[in-house]
Structure 1
């Protein structure tokens, strides 16, 4: 788990970036730093810290992601209009419309208050967050960084507030960080939320991992030494190699599957090998398997088939030194940065082929984030409109279609369709096109006929059989379709066809 670096000065803050800011951008950040420091002067947080520390810590998370001076300035100023005498108009005058727009977006997200049930509160918060994402993704990146520092200092609040904030973090902020592929932030948020939601279990897991890590660290060091020598001999350039301990909450979830038997968790400590190219990743895999015997069925190629959040890497489990089981992860530097910082790193890499390139380029703007990266946000916005914003259907859209575990299935032409676990051929059909869904008559999975309520497995090749004569979907499909998208499309088509629809599952 990476060490949390707390910058105490402006110089320390800007030095956290992998590639230095230009003098012009340092000037902008310095100006925002000075304004925020002056505006929050004398203000304290519940922890007793100066309020300005929170502004700097929020910005620090984003500096480490490599984000530009506009985002960092907005992060430093994100609480100024809400908690000080300085108004948004003054921020716009000093920093321009773009910084002011982002600050205003973060301020609006802070206006959600607990009214009615917890679910209604979460829903209202989610609505606002997704609408903000669709407008400018940087608003949510700042909000995630803001929440991360709030979670780090949660101890200062009363127990009932700690629990509520931790629960909200696990329900809302962790899934959003995960969908954006920001592994570093997602992992820490999960651990901190776990600490306050299940304090006894958290304490037990920390003790368990600490002891297990001591026992395993020695042969991990031996494996690293042997792999370095082997790769050097084979001419593979290693950018980095290190051992990493599994995060506490992830370890807890895995132990639940194995009756809390830590000996069955092979990736409690894993070795990461960071190499220069994709070709080197596969060459390295061959070298690793030549050195250490692999476990059958334990190779996962997330480079050929990335996870839904964009995660890429090769994972293999081997019999390492002393015959002990060990997981090894192989990736390029870009894959590593994207695994840690998700959409922020992807954003930077699309601006230039290497981190050095960004020194000579203008700042990326929200509109320049690749369309695919925000497709799911736009899709959710569309479904929110289609369902009329009804609480139960919108909530289902988020909880099932976006935040649950996902699988991949293939069309006959080789296109990849992403679906939540438990999805059926009808969900698959509507993900391709509403006409394919409406006219579906049958389906094949891997060349064999299956029922329309068949549960699709990861990697299945699905072929939907359609009929030109068929105009309307079956009302019975509402009983088994998994996605809110398919539900909304089926209901909409049936209503247009004059068929009465009474509720859904």
Structure 2
């Protein structure tokens, strides 16, 4: 069936060429290959091959449906409707983003095809005029990389960022290439020695290894870390320039490996993180530790199973590979369907974008709720709550439950009493103190509440009292 779709697309795009001069079919083919690498289903791969057919050829959606069925036609229609998001005036831009989130809610695979499409477009940016290069790269960083991050797609997010980086910040990119890359290469040599020792030790303990490899930190991600005040562009303060990934067959082996590594080398205090017992909100799982390795050099190690590895690389797409996704799950906006916690934010977006008519306000809300870096904080019971950076206890309270938000009177952060406008940090344990006699939230909270969920509810309640 995929072969038939390729032949159909090749015939449809016959005689068309890309700006690079290569035959047009190369673009849908590369899009489909990316989707296949993500482990997606046949219909999605076929839709990847056909995604430009209705817009750029004499064939239409009726032809697609007749040849490949309604499911493929719906996916292709979703991509066609999405069109191109462009910074062409704030109204149009906001409208296009609204469309994107509605299409994600209708079938999450639409955004995955769009990601694969964007990835190949970024690889061929050099053939476009400079102003177009910058616009597409900027939009990729701000929108597509952010959404990939929220969907837990580490591999796709990293590729998008690194491909866009030289076009958005050419000077900074040059500095990273000339000053920082050589240091990463040096570190890589040291990590190879560490890997040899680990292999021997795990073989001795009869631990089955799927793979061990060194992974250099992605350039853009490293750049973002380096410019934080704490690091002040000093690369010697960063321990995970090259992380060593150890992939094993079971969760039990992950913990065994951690024990073996800590017998071999002394761990750095405060650097052991158990994301298996406490996954990140986007589903990421792994054990992290940082050790004083051979010659006292510091090395970061990540231990996970193969399933966790695929989840970390491809996020939501990995569910298809493990058959965890049935027909009803694709449609987040389906009637009576409760989305998994990690996708609830898409449904929330669709719900509150109906409420916000003003485009500027909508974009401001998006900037906070989707495109800002995320932190995760904990309830006293250890549940993970995913919030944007600079969120406060009020945002936390409304995320947990509207009643708790409306009746909150104070908070404890890590056991200490804290005011409601305190900025939360990654890993904080937050407890909300409520007052059942409280009639309504205070309008003053709007001065520091960040999320649309909190701000919308405060406005509504304050208006009614």
Say whether residues 1:83 and 2:56 are aligned partners: yes
How far does residue 367 in structure 1 lie from its aligned partner after superposition?
A: 4.1
Aligned mate of 1:310, from 283, 290, 299: 283
Alignment of 1:5-44 (within 5 A): 28-44=1-17
How far does residue 305 in structure 1 lie from its aligned partner after superposition?
A: 2.3
Aligned mates of 2:105, 2:327 — CA distance in 1: 19
Contact kept, 8 Å, 2:51 with 2:76, in 1: the verdict is yes
Residue aligning to 1:47: 20
Aligned mates of 1:328, 1:113 — CA distance in 2: 41
Aligned mate of 2:402, from 434, 441, 454: 434
- Once the two structures are overlaid, the 10-residue window that deviates more, 139-148 or 199-208, is 199-208
How far does residue 413 in structure 1 lie from its aligned partner after superposition?
A: 4.1
Alignment of 1:336-485 (within 5 A): 336-351=309-324, 366-367=330-331, 371-386=340-355, 388-485=356-453
Say whether residues 1:212 and 2:183 are aligned partners: yes
Alignment of 1:181-200 (within 5 A): 181-200=152-171
Alignment of 1:58-207 (within 5 A): 58-110=31-83, 112-117=85-90, 120-207=91-178
- Once the two structures are overlaid, the 10-residue window that deviates more, 445-454 or 177-186, is 445-454
* Aligned CA distance change for structure 1 residues 322 and 446 (closer, same or farther; 3 Å): closer
Contact kept, 8 Å, 2:86 with 2:93, in 1: the verdict is no
Residue aligning to 1:270: 243
Contact kept, 8 Å, 1:281 with 1:332, in 2: the verdict is yes
* Aligned CA distance change for structure 1 residues 177 and 273 (closer, same or farther; 3 Å): same
* Aligned CA distance change for structure 1 residues 461 and 245 (closer, same or farther; 3 Å): closer
Aligned mates of 1:71, 1:192 — CA distance in 2: 24
Task: Supply the RMSD in Å over aligned alpha carbons.
Answer: 2.0
Aligned mates of 1:70, 1:213 — CA distance in 2: 40
Aligned residues: 458
* Aligned CA distance change for structure 1 residues 73 and 252 (closer, same or farther; 3 Å): same
State the SS of the aligned residue for 1:47: coil
Deviations 1:358-395 (A, max 9, x none): xxxx9896249963342110011112123x23223322
Contact kept, 8 Å, 1:319 with 1:326, in 2: the verdict is yes
How far does residue 443 in structure 1 lie from its aligned partner after superposition?
A: 2.3
How far does residue 96 in structure 1 lie from its aligned partner after superposition?
A: 1.1
How far does residue 122 in structure 1 lie from its aligned partner after superposition?
A: 4.0
State the SS of the aligned residue for 2:387: strand
Residue aligning to 2:29: 56
Contact kept, 8 Å, 1:348 with 1:364, in 2: the verdict is no
Aligned mates of 1:39, 1:48 — CA distance in 2: 18
Runs of 4+ aligned structure 1 residues displaced above 6 Å come to 362-365
* Aligned CA distance change for structure 1 residues 413 and 181 (closer, same or farther; 3 Å): closer
Deviations 1:299-330 (A, max 9, x none): 22222222232211122111212221111111
- Once the two structures are overlaid, the 10-residue window that deviates more, 186-195 or 464-473, is 464-473
How far does residue 426 in structure 1 lie from its aligned partner after superposition?
A: 1.4
* Aligned CA distance change for structure 1 residues 149 and 364 (closer, same or farther; 3 Å): farther
How far does residue 248 in structure 1 lie from its aligned partner after superposition?
A: 1.1
Aligned mates of 2:380, 2:156 — CA distance in 1: 37
Gaps of 5+ in 2: 333-337
Contact kept, 8 Å, 2:188 with 2:216, in 1: the verdict is no
Deviations 1:181-216 (A, max 9, x none): 111111111011111111222122123344223322
